Structure 1
Amino acid sequence: MAQDDTSVVVLAAAPDELVRAEHHWLDPERLDGDLDAARADRMVPLGDGSQIQVMSVAREGLPLAAVIPLDIDGFARLEAVHRLWAVMHRRTIPPDTRLTRQQRQRARRMLQAFDGSRDGATQQDIAQILFRTGPVTRDEWQASSYRFAIMALLKDARAMVAGGYRHLLRHRRRT
């Protein structure tokens, strides 16, 4: 999944050419978070309510460097490393720009609609909760824009639950 999520930071042994005694190197044990010893993974809380996954592939005690493949996702991975650096040096954490505020709000509504549908709520019930609408007659509901919005939210939510959520992990790309 690290190949899908561009916010994962991979740490490896720093090349000898970059290692100097006077440099302060990251000690992975200093990072807050839970270590999964089997995979050397750590979920590091960023302090802004989010967290970042750090994978270490180096032997203990070696100076570490971030590995950033020079592919189309390189800029997104640089952003993740920037966020990790900010945490390490107690600086302001840059925002995660993979989703706009509107996209996050839509994803939230999709999941809320999906949960309501799975729990047996009608589309009209879901609309009343999500959009704060009052009760409407059957004829009003049939012509309501809320009805079509709920149908679209549920369609997109099913696609997300079926695996489409992975596109949320990547940055938008200009074509």
Structure 2
Amino acid sequence: MRTPAGLTNDAGPPLGWPSPQADHAASDGRHLLLRGASGPDVQMTVLDGSGPNLPLAALIPFDADLPARVAALLDAWHALSGRPRGQNPLTAQRRRRLILGLRALDGRAAGASYRALAAGLFGVDRVPSGAAWKSHDLRSRTLRLVADATALMRGGYRALAGLPPQFA
């Protein structure tokens, strides 16, 4: 693939590099840990001949992980440029449900019954005893939590993270 001529010399003003928190010279370039202006620290390898006053360019392999690599690059750009990131697509309610699902999956993998899971997740006094358990809402919720978490474990996390499915 050829780079369009207009892109090669039109990099614009370079982002200023903050002072590195760590700087290690290696055979493949310099490994830097930069404190982000807004957000997390950024780790990068800078090839020989690059410097803080020169425009940066990213080399990204065109492979199955390209969307994840581009997302990580965009996160680094946001952190170094001080621009705010977009909103987290996971609502607080969705995060709570994911946490409950993972706890339920861990309990199920450890051999806990659905009734024991419901008692651990929602409280012992909320779980009915006897035949009432079979048609109770907490039983249905617990079954769905385990099923949803199992689907995530089997590759559904990629959809959650906005990544394409992997093909064998």
TM-score band by shorter chain is 0.5 to 0.7
Corresponding residue to 1:157 among 139, 149, 152: 149
State the TM-score, normalized to the length of structure 1: 0.57
| Corresponding residue number in structure 1 for 2:140 | 148
| Corresponding residue number in structure 1 for 2:20 | 30
Corresponding residue to 1:120 among 105, 111, 122: 111
CA contact (8 A) 1:31 1:44 kept: yes
Partner SS, residue 113 of structure 1: helix
Partner SS, residue 90 of structure 2: coil
Q: Identity of paired residues, percent?
A: 24
- Larger relative contact order, structure 1 or 2 (CA cutoff 8 Å, min sep 6): 1
CA contact (8 A) 1:117 1:126 kept: yes
Matched letter for residue 60 of structure 1: D
Distance in 1 (alpha carbons) for counterparts of 2:117 and 2:141: 11
Matched letter for residue 48 of structure 2: E
Distance in 2 (alpha carbons) for counterparts of 1:65 and 1:16: 10
> What's the offset of the Cα at 1:131?
1.5
CA contact (8 A) 1:98 1:168 kept: no
The structure in which a higher percent of residues are helix is 2
| Corresponding residue number in structure 2 for 1:168 | 160
**Given the superposition, is the C-alpha separation of residues 47 and 55 from structure 1 closer, same or farther in structure 2, using an over 3 Å criterion?**
closer
Q: Which deviates more from structure 2 when the two are superposed, residues 126-135 or residues 94-103?
A: 94-103
Partner SS, residue 9 of structure 2: helix
1:105 aligns with 2:90: no
| Corresponding residue number in structure 1 for 2:47 | 59
Matched letter for residue 30 of structure 1: P
Distance in 1 (alpha carbons) for counterparts of 2:153 and 2:11: 45
> What's the offset of the Cα at 1:60?
3.5
Matched letter for residue 168 of structure 1: L
CA contact (8 A) 1:26 1:64 kept: no
After superposition, the CA RMSD in angstroms is 4.4
Equivalent residue pairs, number:
143
Q: Max radius of gyration: which structure?
A: 2
CA contact (8 A) 2:21 2:33 kept: no
> What's the offset of the Cα at 1:25?
3.7
Matched letter for residue 139 of structure 1: A
Distance in 2 (alpha carbons) for counterparts of 1:67 and 1:141: 56
| Corresponding residue number in structure 1 for 2:120 | 129
> What's the offset of the Cα at 1:144?
0.8
> What's the offset of the Cα at 1:119?
1.3
Task: Please list every run of 5 or more consecutive structure 1 residues that lacks an aligned counterpart in the other structure.
Answer: 1-14
> What's the offset of the Cα at 1:123?
0.8
**Cα distance per residue 1:3-56 (max 9 Å; x no partner):** xxxxxxxxxxxx652357xx4545498377xxxx98x998988799x8588666
